[in-house]
Copies of this chain bind each other. A is one copy, B any other.
Amino acid sequence: MQRIHISRLPEHIGERVRLAGWIHAQRKLSRVSFVVLRDGTGLAQLVLEGTVAELAPEAVVEVVGEVVASEQAPGGVELHDPSFSVLATPAEAPPIELRRPLLKEQLPTILDHAAVALRHPREQAKLALAAATLAGYRDALDGLGFTEIQTPKIVASATEGGANVFAIDYFGRDAYLAQSPQFYKQIMVGVLERVYETGPVFRAEPHETARHLAEYVSLDAEVGFIDDHRTVMGFAREAVAGMVEGVRTRAAAAVALLELGLPEVPDEIPIVHFADAQALLERLTGETVVGEPDLAPAHERALGKWALREHGSDFLFVEGYPMAKRPFYTHPDPARPEFSASFDMLFRGLELSTGGQRLHRYEDYLEALAARGLSTQPFEGYLEAFCFGMPPHGGFAIGLERFVARLVGAANVRETTLFPRDRDRLEP
């Protein structure tokens, strides 16, 4: 008898079927026992009459039984008269109580025991959200003529500068882990015009915060022949709309299980200039912020609330961050060159994406590097793209884990990261 997955049970009412999975929970009453079986697709209730042996939590079993419609059972069906065969017996009792509707363990315990904790239905659901987000992002950009690329993660020079770069021993030479695919996706604008990548990036973040990781999944895109950073913001809007649509269509069961309200992505996401945002924050919070080079997380939260209140939008663009804090490849706003032609996209008050127009003239790069006292030598392969003709272009990067964290309302991005890495955590 062919094994079927639990999600297909309602199609087999009245039939005898074979299931396989893990013993998720067990409840004994005087004359009847209920066993909850879990597989990769869901939970099923099995009803056993009479005395039954104890089944160890997380034992792997095959079960043959009859599918019976039952309004009380989860999913509307249950399995009667089950017979079990055990495929694997746990060596000891699991360190995580998976049978609870919500895990009661603290986050460090959950992360330490990820191999078990991820088996919880809510954790499975978060993984489904992440996969659907990725698929939706790719669908959106594929539909806009982008080509997916995979660029190297071992690089000869730090992309974004700064101290938060991991060094590696590369056959006796110094090399680094890529902080972003920035240089490569720009080079590829000269090749294919529109490219994207979904891959890991590495930041040696010295601080432990609820929103930073040493390694995360970055959804990057870059596009040529733009008018200015507003063109890029239009593509970023399409990407995020695709991600939400991906979740809606590909992870409906996870959305239902987690009881999520999915955001609407407005056709026109509201835009506020950095300078106006600071003035607004002074009105909203009473704090003095005008003149600061960046927004603090609390300010982003306040702006997120404002966008929801004033514009009914979960998303907000802040454009025109000061040039002072942006990397060397940033294009200035031609009208106000102390501000950049760049933007952040906030999602429910969290910075979800950063993007903007890049410099595209070779001489501008030489100037920008010289102004920062940087040699051109480490950037030769990158600069070649600009030396031999590049159009106006720009791009953005979206943090996958942050998106899923805001979607599910997680306070810490580690709750929506598969095997997170930070200063103190390298395992599992």
Q: Which chain A residues have a beta carbon within 8 Å of chain B's beta carbons?
A: 3, 5, 20, 22, 39-41, 56, 58-60, 87-92, 94, 112-116, 118-119, 123-124, 127-128, 130-131, 134-135, 138, 142, 145, 147-156, 166-171, 173, 175, 177, 184, 187-188, 190-194, 198-200, 202, 204, 206, 214-215, 217, 224-225, 360-363, 380-382, 384-385, 387-392, 400, 418-421, 423, 426-428
Q: Are A428 and B170 in contact (CB under 8 A)?
A: no
Contact partner, A166, options B123, B138, B169, Cβ 8 Å: B169
Decide: A192 and B124 in contact? CB cutoff 8 A.
yes
B residues near A204, Cβ cutoff 8 Å:
171
Q: Is B127 a contact partner of A170 (Cβ separation < 8 A)?
A: no
Choose one: B39, B94, B127; the contact of A388 (CB below 8 Å): B94
What is the bound-complex CA distance between A164 and B360, given in angstroms? 39
Whether A3 touches B225, Cβ cut-off 8 Å, given contacts A191-B123, A199-B200, A202-B154, is yes
Partner among B88, B380, B382, B423 whose Cβ is within 8 Å of the Cβ of A391: B88
Contact A400 B150 (CB under 8 A): yes
> How far does the Cβ of A227 sit from chain B's closest Cβ, in whole Å?
10
Q: Is the CB of A39 within 8 A of B193?
A: yes
Check A115–B190 contact: CB distance below 8 A.
Answer: yes
Residue pair B87, A385 in contact (C-beta under 8 Å): no
Contact A169 B167 (CB under 8 A): yes
A124: shortest Cβ distance to chain B, in Å? Answer: 6
Q: Are A191 and B119 in contact (CB under 8 A)?
A: yes
The answer to whether A177 and B187 touch across the interface, beta carbons within 8 angstroms, is no
Q: Do B153 and A428 have beta carbons less than 8 Å apart? A: no
A381–B421 touching, CB < 8 Å: no
Which listed residue (B113, B142, B423) contacts A135, Cβ 8 A? Answer: B142
| CB contact between A173 and one of B135, B362, B389, B426 (< 8 Å): that residue | B426
Contact yes or no, A154 B41, CB < 8 A: no
Which residue in chain B gives the minimum CB-CB distance to A422? Answer: B171
**Bound state CA distance, A420 and B387, in angstroms?**
22
How many copies make up the complex? 2
**In the complex the two chains form, is A389's CB within 8 Å of B193's CB?**
no
Contact B421 A188 (CB under 8 A): no
Question: B40 contacts A193, CB within 8 Å?
Answer: yes
With A170-B426, A214-B154, A215-B154 already in contact, the answer to whether A192 and B135 are too (CB < 8 A) is: no
**A and B contact pairs by CB, cutoff 8 A, 10 listed:** A40-B191, A87-B392, A88-B390, A90-B389, A115-B187, A127-B149, A152-B215, A152-B421, A154-B177, A184-B419
Return the contact of A150 from the options B200, B385, B387, B391 (Cβ within 8 A).
Answer: B200
A86 nearest in chain B by CB position: B389
Using A167-B168, A187-B428 as known contacts, say yes or no to A59 and B389 having CB atoms under 8 A apart: yes
A135 near B154 with CB under 8 A, answer no
- Minimum CB–CB distance from A111 to chain B (whole Å) comes to 10
Closest Cβ–Cβ distance, residue A402 to chain B (whole Å):
14
* Nearest 6 A/B pairs, CB to CB: A381-B428, A40-B193, A58-B389, A115-B385, A115-B384, A131-B148
Q: Which residue of B lies closest to A384 (CB)?
A: B115
Most chain B CB atoms below 10 A, which of A91, A135, A170, A202: A91
Besides the contacts A94-B388, A130-B150, what 14 more A-B pairs have beta carbons closer than 8 Å? Answer: A5-B145, A40-B193, A87-B391, A90-B388, A91-B387, A116-B385, A118-B187, A127-B191, A150-B198, A150-B200, A151-B418, A156-B427, A199-B200, A384-B428
Q: Which residues of B contact A192 (CB under 8 A)?
A: 40, 124, 127
